[in-house]
Amino acid sequence: MVNHLLLWAADNPRLERSVSNNKLFGKLVHRFIAGPELADALSAASDLNSRGIGGISDLLGEGVKDLAGAAEASQEYHSAIAAIAEKQINATVSLKLSQLGLVLDPAACASNLAMILDRARDLGVGVEVDMEQSELVDASLKVFREAAGQHPETRLAIQANLRRTPSDLDAMAALKPRIRLVKGAYAEPIDKALHSKKEVDAQFRHLTNWLFEHGSFPAFGTHDSDCIEYAEKAAVKAGVGQQDFEIQMLYGIRRDLQESLAQKGYRVRVYIPYGSSWYPYLMRRMAEKPTNLVFFLRSVVGS
């Protein structure tokens, strides 16, 4: 019940304005969002690198109103790639296709993505493509499949809660795709998504096995200790080493587990959001896992 309310809140502009003007949330935002600028994300990534953990820069915001906005977002991604390469930071760049114009003009989005991927390849910086709500999955998969032909190193996020995901992965098996498996954090109807934790966890485990068998260099985006432990065991069973897959987590959540896994020799990478559009991100993260709400509330009261 709580997660459905939080997902509703994530898409409520009136509530967003109210929360954004509430000074109590300043401390919360500071813990879970690196800051308003790219430099803040890069500083956070450098700090993580000092502890053996990689970063993923994430420009907050979903969708643009026109192609000029898509061009502006594209330039921000180019800047992030150039800065990561120049500063020699262990970080990738995560991007949203809706920010590149996917809804407005899929062809323009594909062109923007291609230029970003070309630049990232030239500078040796990895790129991860986020998956958004179910209405954009078909278009996102189409753009990714076209891009992966020239840039097989590109990683795509796939949501375990969507009922269609096993079929989507089977259709990409020939590509041996690089996938970031997440549970999913969008409000979806029951006919499109699994709603119970038990069902989502079962599908997450099934897809974990699929990725070790059919994918390449998979990443598992989760804070769920059971899912992480399952991935560790599945890797051993598949003959995959600790450095041949990633555990990815969110900035500010389960820092102790991040460091523990890195110290054990696992490849760990942390998703570092930055920018002013923090409200929908935080609401979805709280809805994604009820215990995240506890982390957020504790940060506000200072416990």
User: Per the domain annotation, does 38 fall within a domain?
Assistant: yes
Which 3 state secondary structure label does DSSP give 56? strand
8 A C-beta contact, residue 85 and residue 123: yes
Structural domains of the chain, count: 1
Share of the chain above pLDDT 70, in %: 83
Only one residue has tokens 């920010």, namely 99
Verify whether residue 11 is a known catalytic residue. no
Task: Kindly report which listed range (8-12, 220-224, 258-262, 271-275) carries the lowest average pLDDT score.
Answer: 8-12
CATH code of the domain covering residue 69? 3.20.20.220
Q: What is the pLDDT of residue 281?
A: 72
User: Per the domain annotation, does 29 fall within a domain?
Assistant: no
Q: Which of 40, 130, 201, 224 is catalytic?
A: 130
User: Per the domain annotation, does 19 fall within a domain?
Assistant: no
User: Per the domain annotation, does 78 fall within a domain?
Assistant: yes
**pTM for this predicted structure:** 0.87
Verify whether residue 285 is a known catalytic residue. no
User: Per the domain annotation, does 12 fall within a domain?
Assistant: no
Question: Tell me: the pLDDT tens digits for 254-300?
Answer: 999 999 999 999 999 999 999 877 766 776 666 655 555 555 555 44
8 A C-beta contact, residue 265 and residue 232: no
Q: What is the pLDDT of residue 61?
A: 82
Taking the C-alpha atoms of residue 45 and residue 54, their distance in angstroms, rounded to an integer, is 7
Average pLDDT, the chain: 88
Q: Which of 180, 254, 284, 285 is catalytic?
A: 180
User: Per the domain annotation, does 63 fall within a domain?
Assistant: yes
R_g (Cα) of the chain, nearest Å: 18
8 A C-beta contact, residue 248 and residue 219: yes
Q: What is the pLDDT of residue 7?
A: 47
Which 3 state secondary structure label does DSSP give 246? strand
User: Per the domain annotation, does 126 fall within a domain?
Assistant: yes
pLDDT at 240 over 70: yes
Question: Tell me: the pLDDT tens digits for 187-201?
Answer: 799 999 999 999 999
User: Per the domain annotation, does 4 fall within a domain?
Assistant: no
Q: Name the pLDDT band for 125 (thresholds 50, 70, 90).
A: very high
Question: Tell me: the pLDDT tens digits for 133-153?
Answer: 999 999 999 999 999 999 999
Q: What is the pLDDT of residue 117?
A: 98
Domain range spanning residue 255? 34-277
